[in-house]
Amino acid sequence: MKHKIQILPENLCNKIAAGEVVERPASVVKELLENSLDAGATEIRVEVERGGKKLIRVVDDGEGMGRDDAFLCLERHATSKIRCDDDLFRLQTLGFRGEALPSIAAVSRFNLRSRAQESLEGWEIYAEGGTVKRAGAVGSPCGTTIEVRDLFFNTPARRKFLRRDETELGHISDVITKLALAHPEVQFRFAHNGRTLVDVYRQAALPERVAALLGRSLLRDLVPVAVEGPGGLHLQGLISQPTANRSSSGSVYTFINGRYIRDRVVQHALMEGYRSLLEKGRYPVTVLFLAVDPGLVDVNVHPTKHEVRFRDQRLVHDFIASAVRETLRPAGWLAAPREDSLEGDLQPVLPSTPPSAVPPQRAVRSADSLAAGHREGVQEALLSYARTGPGKERVAGVGAAQRQTGPFTVPDAESDERGRGFFSSLEIIGQYRRSYILCQDGEDLLLVDQHAAHERIGFERLRSQFRQGRVERQTLLFPAVLEFDFREAALLKESLAEMAQLGFDLEPFGGKAFALKAIPQLLNDREAERLVRDVAGEIATVGKSGLVEEALDGIFAVMACHGVVRANQSLSPPEISALMRSLDEVDFKAHCPHGRPVMKRLPLSGVERMFKRT
Ligand code: ADP
Ligand code: MG
Query: Around Cβ 284, how many Cβ atoms within 10 Å?
Result: 25
Q: What share of the chain is helix, strand, coil (3-state, %, to 5)?
A: 40, 25, 35
Distance (angstroms) between ligand 1 centre and the Cα of 11 equals: 19
Q: Is 60 in the pocket of ligand 1 (CB under 6 A)?
A: yes
User: What local confidence, expressed as pLDDT, does residue 70 receive?
Assistant: 93
Q: Is pTM beyond 0.85 here?
A: no
Looking at ligand 1, which residue's alpha carbon is closest to its atom 16?
80
Burial of 9 (0-12, 13-18, 19+ CB in 10 A): exposed
User: What local confidence, expressed as pLDDT, does residue 245 receive?
Assistant: 81
Least confident of 194-203, 354-363, 529-538: 354-363
Least confident of 18-27, 114-123, 227-236: 18-27
Phi, psi of 591 (to 5 degrees): -140, 150
Q: Which ligand is nearest to the CA of 59?
A: 1
Residues 6+ apart with CB under 8 A from 535: 499, 502, 504, 555, 558, 559
CA neighbor of 25 nearest in space, from 167, 213, 146, 129: 167
User: What pLDDT band is residue 540 in, cutting at 50, 70 and 90?
Assistant: low
Least confident of 149-158, 178-187, 215-224, 529-538: 529-538
User: What local confidence, expressed as pLDDT, does residue 410 receive?
Assistant: 25
Residue 35 alpha carbon, nearest atom of ligand 1? 20
**Mutation to probe ligand 1, out of 14, 38, 75, 91 (largest number of atoms < 8 A from CB):** 38
Looking at ligand 1, which residue's alpha carbon is closest to its atom 1?
98
Residues 6+ apart with CB under 8 A from 567: 434, 435, 449, 450, 451
Residues 6+ apart with CB under 8 A from 597: 243, 386, 449, 452, 590, 591
- Mean pLDDT, residues 294-317 taken together: 78
Q: Which residue has the higher pLDDT, 360 or 562?
A: 562
CA neighbor of 335 nearest in space, from 442, 409, 259, 230: 442
CA neighbor of 93 nearest in space, from 255, 264, 300, 240: 300
> Residue 356 above 70 pLDDT?
no
Asked if residues 350 and 216 have their Cβ atoms less than 8 Å apart, the reply is no
Q: DSSP of 131-149, one letter per residue?
A: EEEEEEEE---SEEEEEEE
Q: Is 33 in the pocket of ligand 1 (CB under 6 A)?
A: no
Sheet holding 234-240, edge to edge: 222-228, 234-240, 286-291, 252-256, 259-260
Distance (angstroms) between ligand 2 centre and the Cα of 64 equals: 13
User: What local confidence, expressed as pLDDT, does residue 375 receive?
Assistant: 32
User: What local confidence, expressed as pLDDT, does residue 317 receive?
Assistant: 92
User: What pLDDT band is residue 382 in, cutting at 50, 70 and 90?
Assistant: very low
> Residue 113 above 70 pLDDT?
yes
> Residue 548 above 50 pLDDT?
yes
Q: What is the mean pLDDT of the chain?
A: 79
Q: Which residue has the higher pLDDT, 400 or 171?
A: 171
User: What pLDDT band is residue 102 in, cutting at 50, 70 and 90?
Assistant: very high
Write out pLDDT tens, residues 185-238.
Answer: 999 999 999 988 889 988 778 998 988 888 777 888 899 999 999 988 999 999
Q: Is 100 in the pocket of ligand 1 (CB under 6 A)?
A: yes
> Residue 543 above 70 pLDDT?
no
Write out pLDDT tens, residues 587-612.
Answer: 777 777 777 888 888 989 889 988 98
Write out pLDDT tens, residues 257-287.
Answer: 888 998 888 999 999 899 888 887 888 999 9
User: What local confidence, expressed as pLDDT, does residue 563 receive?
Assistant: 63
Q: At what angle do helices 528-542 and 486-494 cross, to 10 degrees?
A: 70
**Mutation to probe ligand 1, out of 21, 73, 104, 114 (largest number of atoms < 8 A from CB):** 73
Exposure string over 500-532, b if 16+ CB within 10 A, otherwise e: eebbbbbeeeeebebebebbbebbebebbeebb
Least confident of 50-54, 209-213, 419-423, 472-476: 419-423
> Residue 614 above 80 pLDDT?
no
User: What local confidence, expressed as pLDDT, does residue 372 receive?
Assistant: 35
Q: Which residue has the higher pLDDT, 394 or 272?
A: 272
Give CA angle at 478 (476, 484), nearest 5°.
90
User: What pLDDT band is residue 300 in, cutting at 50, 70 and 90?
Assistant: low
Phi, psi of 260 (to 5 degrees): -65, 125
The rounded distance, in Å, linking the Cα atoms of 457 and 379 is 25
Asked if residues 272 and 321 have their Cβ atoms less than 8 Å apart, the reply is yes
**Mutation to probe ligand 1, out of 79, 88, 186 (largest number of atoms < 8 A from CB):** 79
Exposure string over 10-21, b if 16+ CB within 10 A, otherwise e: eeebbbebbeeb
The rounded distance, in Å, linking the Cα atoms of 173 and 151 is 18
User: What pLDDT band is residue 368 in, cutting at 50, 70 and 90?
Assistant: very low
Q: Strands (DSSP E) along 36-121, which ranges?
A: 43-49, 55-60, 109-115
> Residue 154 above 90 pLDDT?
yes
Q: Strands (DSSP E) along 468-565, which ranges?
A: 473-483, 505-508, 513-520
Q: What is the CA radius of gyration of the chain?
A: 30
- Mean pLDDT, residues 518-528 taken together: 78
User: What pLDDT band is residue 111 in, cutting at 50, 70 and 90?
Assistant: very high
The rounded distance, in Å, linking the Cα atoms of 207 and 226 is 14
